[in-house]
Amino acid sequence: MSSIKQLAIIGATASGKSGLAIKMAHKYNAIIFSIDSLAIYKEMDIVSAKPTIEEQEGILHLGIDELQVPEHFSALKVAILYKEAYAKAVEMDKNL
């Protein structure tokens, strides 16, 4: 794939973003890159709206469980993770 298509879904907590993202990922051969401020932490399973393995419906989700709680989350970290996600999408011939 010479260039990948990208779509951003933005909205309030519990507004259905994850469900929509999974439907779109199935339809458009995509992986999902999440930048949720809590789901990025490995230990934040209860307080975040992190999708379970079953809820991910076989779609690769990146940006979830990336950091330990003491690690700092910043715009720079988002940029680094996005670059990695983009490279993974290209490698897998998927959209993002």
pLDDT band at 1 (very low <50, low <70, confident <90, very high): very low
pLDDT at 47: 66
What is the chain's mean pLDDT, rounded? 89
Q: What is the mean pLDDT of residues 11-25?
A: 90
Mean pLDDT for the stretch of residues 68-78: 91
| Burial classification of residue 32, based on how many CB atoms lie within 10 Å of its CB (0-12 exposed, 13-18 middle, 19 or more buried) | buried
Q: Which of 36-40, 44-48, 53-57, 80-84 has the highest mean pLDDT?
A: 80-84
Q: Report pTM.
A: 0.85
